[in-house]
Amino acid sequence: MKAKITLAKEFQIGKIDKRIYGSFVEHLGRAVYGGIYEPSHPLADSDGFRTDVIEMVKELNVPIVRYPGGNFVSGYNWEDGVGPVESRPKRLDLAWGTTEPNTFGTNEFMKWCQKANTECMMAVNLGTRGPDEARNLVEYTNHKSGSAWSDMRIKHGYKDPWNVKLWCLGNEMDGRWQMGAKTASEYGKVALEASKMMKWTDGSIETVLCGSSSRNSPTFGEWEATSLDIAYDSIDYVSLHQYYGNHTDDTPSFLALTLELDEFIHSVLCVCDYIKAKKRTNKTINLSFDEWNVWYHSNNAPYERWSMAPPRLEDIYNFEDALLVGAMMITLLRHCDRIKIACLAQLVNVIAPIFTQTGGGIFKQTIFYPFEHLSNFGRGVALNPIISCPKYDCKDFSDVPYLEAIATVDEEKEEMTLFCVNKSLDDDALLEINLLDLENYKPFEFVSMDGYGAKDENGFDKSPVKPHKNELPEVDGATVTAHLQPFSWNVIRFKRK
Ligand code: AHR
C-alpha cells in the first residue's frame, strides 16, 4: 500500500504529561511477592527487592506506579502493612481469594519507588473503609511530624515524609465484584468527603475519582455524571479502565479495538464537560486512564484458594498483543491534552511487560518493547499527524485505517519521533512523510518489530520477539520515505540539524 503522513509544528495536541507512562503494582498474584519483592532471591538487595526487576523497570522509565490495588485495595487495612514485620497480621484477601502476609506494605513500596526511579500513585480503600482511614494514611505518609500518624511513621523508622502527590479515591467502585461496591451517588458522597479531608491534611495532593470499571459497565456514563456532579469541586481527575482480548481469534478486529478506545475516551470527556457546563465553572476535569492493557490469556487459570502469592493473571503475551499495546498507547497520546495519567496494568508478572520466575530468571514480554519506546522517546509535545492510508473492514468494525500513528517532539533534546503501527497482515507500506515546517529534522534511527507470527511469544529460554534496527529512510528535502513491513511496529527517530 501507499500511505502519507503530514506533520507540522502547529499540529500540536498538547504537552505530554510524563505520568501518561505510568504503571501499576497490586498485591495480587506474584506482582509483589516473587515480583518486585523476593528477599530469598540471589539478586535481591538488602531490602529484599529484586534488582533484575528494578533494572527492567528503569528501562521502561515509568514515572509513576499505582499501588496497592486494584480490587485488593477495597479490603486493605493499610495499618496492617506498616511497623515491625513480625507483628503484622496475615489477612484473607477476598478480592483474589488468597492470603496476604503483609510483609510488604506502604513504606517498603515507597522505598522500592525510590530505587526504581519512580513515584507512587496511592489508592485508598473506599470499599470496606472510608474517609477517616484515607485521611489517616495521608497524614502517615505526608505529614512531617507532631501528630499521631506522622509520629508513628517516624517511630517505624521513616523520619522524612514520603510526600505522595497523587491519590486514587478507591477502585472500580461500580463493580459488583468490588468489596463495598456502591451506587454512583453513594460513591460520589464518600469520594467527596474523602478527597476533602485528604486535601485538608495535605493541600498539595491531587485526587482521582473512580469512573466506570470499563465502557461495558451497565452504569457507564450515568455513573460518571452522577458521581462527578457530587464530587466535582474537590477532585482533579476521573479514572478510566479498559482491557482488551482477542477472544474470537480475529486479529483484524482485535487490532481495530483502538477505534472503540478512542470513542470511550471521547465519551468520558463529554460527560466531564457536561458537568462542567452544568456547574458553570472554569474548572476542567482531566482523565487518569489508570488501568489499560491486553488481558485474556490467563483468565481461567486454576490456583489454590487462600495460598500466598500464587500465580494469578499471568498472561504470556504474543506479537499481536504488542501491536495492540503500541496502538493503544498511541490512542492515549492522541488525547494527551486531557489524559494526564495512564497506567499500563500491570508491571511485573500480573498481566505485565516484565515476567519473572520465583527464585529464577526474568524475561521481557513482547509488550515490553512498544511501551519502552514510547515511554523513552515519546516525551515533549504530541503532534496529530494527518494520515492518508487505505482502510479495511472487519467483523466488528468498518473503515479501520491500516496505519495508526503519532509524532512527538522533544524540544529540549531536539528530537522528534514518529510511532506507527501497520495493522495489515500482509501488505507493506511505502510511507511518505511530509515534514512541512519540521524540515530541519532528519532521521537518525529506524527501529521496528516485524516478521513475527501473530502468536509468537517470548519466554525464559528464548525471546525471539524484539525490535531490530533498519536502514534509515530516504530523505528528499522535507519528504522522508520509509518502508514499513506488514504487521509491524515502527519507530522513526529524527534529530534537529
Ligand atoms: O488489574 C487487575 C484488576 O483489574 C484490578 O485489580 C481491577 O481494578 C481490575 O478489574
Residue nearest ligand 1's atom 9 by CA: 70
Mean pLDDT of 268-290: 98
Cis peptide upstream of residue 68 (ω within 30 degrees of 0): yes
Q: Please choose from 67, 241, 346 the residue to mutate so as to test ligand 1's pocket, defined by most ligand atoms within 8 A of CB.
A: 241
How far is ligand 1, taken at its centre, from the CA of residue 4, in Å? 39
Task: Give the pLDDT score at 132.
Answer: 98
Please write the tens of the pLDDT for every residue from 427-480.
Answer: 999 999 999 999 999 999 999 999 999 999 999 999 999 999 999 999 999 999
Is the confidence at residue 259, as pLDDT, over 90? yes
| Span from the CA of 478 to the centroid of ligand 1 (angstroms) | 46
User: Are residues 130 and 169 in contact, defined by beta-carbon separation less than 8 angstroms?
Assistant: no
At 254, list the grid cell. 482485535
- DSSP-based three-state secondary structure for 382: strand
* Residue 300: pLDDT band with limits 50, 70, 90: confident
Half-sphere exposure of 148 (CA within 13 A, CB side): 3
Q: Which three cell numbers stand for residue 168?
A: 486514587
Per-residue confidence at 119, pLDDT binned at 50, 70, 90? very high
The residue annotated as part of the active site, out of 26, 38, 119, 291, is: 291
Long-range contacts, stretch 476-479, CB < 8 angstroms, 24+ apart: 477/439, 478/434, 478/435, 478/436, 478/438, 478/439, 479/432, 479/433, 479/434, 479/435
DSSP string, 438-466: GTTEEEEEEEEE-S--TT-B--SS-----
Average pLDDT over residues 231-257: 98
Atom of ligand 1 nearest to the CA of 71: 6
Ligand 1 atom closest to residue 26's alpha carbon, by position in its atom list? 6
Predicted structure pTM score = 0.97
Residue 22 in this model has a pLDDT that exceeds 90: yes
The rounded Å distance from CA 457 to ligand 1 centre is: 24
Task: Report the share of the chain in percent with pLDDT over 90.
Answer: 99
- 200-229 per-position pLDDT tens digit: 999 999 999 999 999 999 999 999 999 999
Please report, as a single letter, which amino acid is at residue 349. Answer: N
Mean pLDDT of 412-440: 97
Name residues contacting ligand 1 (CB within 6 A): 26, 69-71, 171-172, 213, 291, 345-346
Q: What is the pLDDT of residue 124?
A: 98
Q: Which of 172, 404, 415, 432 is catalytic?
A: 172
Atom of ligand 1 at shortest range from CA of 313: 2
Q: Separation of 71 CA from ligand 1 center, angstroms?
A: 6
Q: How many Å lie between the centroid of ligand 1 and the Cα of residue 129?
A: 19
Position in ligand 1 atom list of the atom nearest CA 346: 1
pLDDT at position 29 is 98
Each residue of 120-133: pLDDT tens digit? 999 999 999 999 99
User: What's the average model confidence in pLDDT over 58-86?
Assistant: 98
Q: Would the pLDDT of 69 be above 90?
A: yes
Active site residue 291: yes
pLDDT of residue 472: 98
Average pLDDT value over all residues in the chain: 98
Instruction: Give 315-366 pLDDT, tens digit per residue.
Output: 999 999 999 999 999 999 999 999 999 999 999 999 999 999 999 999 999 9
Q: Whose CA is nearest to atom 3 of ligand 1?
A: 70
Per-residue pLDDT tens over the stretch 367-376: 999 999 999 9
CB 341 within 8 A of CB 237: yes
**What pLDDT digit, counting tens, does each position of 141-181 carry?**
999 999 999 999 999 999 999 999 999 999 999 999 999 99
pLDDT number for residue 40? 98
- 172 noted as active-site residue: yes
Residue 283 exposed, middle or buried by CB count within 10 Å (0-12, 13-18, 19+): exposed
Q: What is the atom index within ligand 1 of the atom nearest the CA of 243?
A: 4
70 CA distance to ligand 1 middle (Å): 5
Question: Which grid cell sits at 317?
Answer: 503475551
Hey, which of 24, 26, 66 would you mutate to test ligand 1's pocket, going by the most ligand atoms within 8 Å of its Cβ?
Answer: 26
Taking the C-alpha atoms of residue 137 and residue 359, their distance in angstroms, rounded to an integer, is 33
Q: What integer is the mean pLDDT of 413-434?
A: 98
Distance CA 448, CA 471 (A): 11
